[in-house]
Structure 1
Amino acid sequence: MSDRSGAKAKAKPPAPQRVEVRKTYKLFIGGKFPRSESGRSYPVQNANVALSSRKDVRDAVVAARAAVKGWSGATAYNRGQILYRVAEMLEGRREQFVALGVPGDEVDAATDRWVWYAGWSDKLPQVYGGANPVAGPYFNLSAPEPTGVVGVVAPERPALLGLVSVIAPAIVTGNTVVVLASPTEPLAAITLAEVLATSDLPGGVVNLLTGRVTETAPPLAGHMDVNALDLTGVTDAELAKELEVKAAENLKRVLRPAPAPHDWTADPGLTRMTSLLETKTVWHPKGV
């Protein structure tokens, strides 16, 4: 083939084949996405996912403790705004979760659950606290306060809705959490961490670890700087017993495993929020 001048046209070289960027699924600690300090990973859901170590548990607890003061000191209204922002961001990533194998109706239910808990942020103190009648010239007021750092074993399934259902009630009341994600379906958890990282949530409020629960749950349960333990996702009775014994060393509050089968789409009620609250009672003399 030639052009009008008689010169032969040069053949266009074939386009180079593009190599797809393979995603690395890391941990979520202190608002950042580090690899496991051990350098380990494990294959699951057609991906390589970080395999957490005991050191990762300790790092996550340090990050959670550092975030307690700022998060618990924020106004309830502000915490509600941030939870609502999480719902907005999750709604925008709906198709990404569906592509990971999460059913669309589960993504919708998880989004609605963030909104539901956001609405309770500035109302729970009115329901759970209040003025107490006493015999004497005093005002007696009870007010709920966060417990502190909460260790959470998330349910294996549903990977997204179950995870949201244990994180949201803990943080809306001012606690910070270290969460052990589903070991068999962790991709939804790490993708949710990406949502949290872009939702105005302060770093360290939610810390998420992937890997073997049997390896990371015992050091989390026995950590002296963890104030409460949510064993919802523990299905092994012997492991649950071991974790409760470790939790007793510093009198942690313990939420026992959820009965199976558990309907995660049902009305969650207030129990998960109130179970992770302390009650402060203040006496004040009346003016005469």
Structure 2
Amino acid sequence: MSDARLGVLKTYKLYIGGKFPRSESGRVYEVTTSKGEWLANAPQSSRKDARDAVVAARKAFSGWSGATAYNRGQVLYRVAEMLEGRKDQFVREVADAEGLGKSRAAAVVDAAIDRWVWYAGWTDKIAQVVGGGNPVAGPFFNLSSPEPTGVVAVLAPQESSFLGLVSVVAPVIATGNTAVVVSSESAPLPALSLAEVLATSDVPGGVVNVLSGRTAEIAPTLAAHQDVNAIDLTGADPALAKDLETAAADNLKRVLRAGPHDWSQTPGTKRLTAFLETKTVWHPTGSLGVGGSAY
């Protein structure tokens, strides 16, 4: 009996609504290493796939945004636990995608997992930073609190297949939004593997939806979609970003503009606050009459 065997090649799929469909169009495209060596066939998403992902994200929004911030933090931390357990796989995928040596790729993956933990810790703290009581001239309490924007389309960085990906996805869902993520076009495999981690953690289906394919084909559908509330243009080149901003203006989407990023730096709270709305409530102070109480 021969010791030789054929390896089992992995079939990568999209992640929409907690399920793993192939592209609606049936298309795939070749993913190669930085040296041009074949790695896998990734699904090439269609405009229909993008619309399906938006439907799934909208369906999941009420449950996810309605969860307590503490609970969201627990769920995000569980994702970090699962990433830690599959670290070797991500090291291989990042090394192949970005042309890094094993030790450098391992450092990038460690940083990405730490970044996920960092955002998990912010879920129940961001309201204290950006919310609060406002002084007013009258017998009222005036309180401001942050609320999630809604469905956010995220164009993941093209050059940072995992650390950059985590840095743009985690803050969106940490604050109660749901996401439709377009992975790096040339290096989608870490994003598609992240989807497998999300599916086996406690993140409800539809909270994060992952599409791979041609960014210039998928992104215009998301930018023009009336049920998408915001878009992160990080993964778009300047010409595409300009067109997407124009399309996004049709329903007054929030837009996070593209720009150079050093993903290794501590991110701060910019991305946590980028897709938050502020709700302000007025409440009378003092006696409310018979049976009333002071607040």
Same fold by TM-score greater than 0.5: yes
Aligned to 2:175: 173
Separation in structure 2 between the aligned mates of residue 179 and residue 283 of structure 1, nearest angstrom: 37
SS at match of 2:146: strand
SS of residue in 2 equivalent to 1:183: coil
After superposition, the C-alpha distances for 1:125-173 in whole angstroms (9 at most, x for unaligned) are: 0111011111111111101000000001000121000000000010000
Q: What TM-score do you get using the length of structure 2 for normalisation? A: 0.90
CA-CA distance at 1:22 after TM superposition: 1.7
Structure-1 separation of matches of 2:50 and 2:178: 14
Q: Which residue of 2 aligns with 1:285?
A: 284
CA contact (8 A) 1:145 1:277 kept: yes
1:215 corresponds to which residue?
217
Q: Give the one of 120, 137, 141 matched to 1:139.
A: 141
- Could you tell me which residue of structure 1 aligns to residue 250 of structure 2? 249
**What is the CA–CA distance in structure 2 between the aligned matches of 1:44 and 1:16, rounded to whole Å?**
29
SS of 2:185 mapped into structure 1:
coil
Equivalent pairs: percent with the same residue?
68
> What's the counterpart of residue 53 of structure 2?
60
Return 5+ residue gaps in structure 2 as ranges. 33-38, 96-104, 288-295
Residue number in structure 2 paired with 1:42: 29
| Structure 1, unpaired ranges of 5+ | 1-13
Contact 1:233/1:258 (CA < 8 Å) preserved in 2? no
SS in 2 for 1:178: strand
Say yes or no: does 1:185 pair with 2:170: no
What TM-score do the two structures reach when normalised by structure 1? 0.92
User: 1:16: Cα distance to partner?
Assistant: 8.0
CA contact 2:182–2:210 (8 Å) conserved in 1: yes
Select 1:123's aligned residue among 119, 122, 125: 125
Return the match for 1:89 from 77, 82, 98. 82
Instruction: Give me the whole-angstrom Cα distance separating, in 1, the residues matched to 2:214 and 2:55.
Output: 20
The offset of 1:238, in angstroms, is: 1.5
1:25 and 2:12 equivalent? yes
Find the residue that maps to 1:100 and give its secondary structure: helix
Partners of 2:239 and 2:159 lie apart in 1 by 20
Q: Tell me the amino acid that sits aligned with residue 224 of structure 1.
A: Q
CA distance in 2, matches of 1:191, 1:276: 25
SS in 2 for 1:224: coil
Q: Would the aligned equivalents of 1:64 and 1:178 in 2 still touch at CA under 8 Å? A: yes
Offset of 1:18 from its aligned partner?
Answer: 3.8
Q: Does 1:269 align with 2:271?
A: no
Aligned-partner SS, 2:30: strand
Q: Shift of residue 97 of structure 1?
A: 1.1
1:181, CA displacement in angstroms? 0.2
Q: CA deviation at 1:199?
A: 1.3
Question: How far is 1:275 from its partner?
Answer: 1.2
Which digits, 9 at most, give the CA deviation of each residue in 1:213-269, with x for residues without a partner?
01000001000000001001112x22111000000000000000022xx21010101
2:94/2:162 contact within 8 Å kept: no
Secondary structure of the structure 2 residue equivalent to 1:140 = strand
Partner of 1:154: 156
Contact 1:28/1:34 (8 A) holds in 2: yes
Q: CA deviation at 1:17?
A: 5.3
In structure 2, what is the equivalent of residue 5 of structure 1? none
- Tell me the distance in 2 between the aligned counterparts of 1:101 and 1:141: 45
Quick one: distance in 2 between partners of 1:40 and 1:242? 25
| Residue identity in the other structure for 1:38 | S
The residue number in structure 1 matching 2:201 is: 199
Provide the rounded CA distance (Å) in 1 between the counterparts of 2:208 and 2:158.
18
Structure 1 contact 121–172 (Cα < 8 Å) conserved:
yes
1:233 equivalent in alignment to 2:235: yes
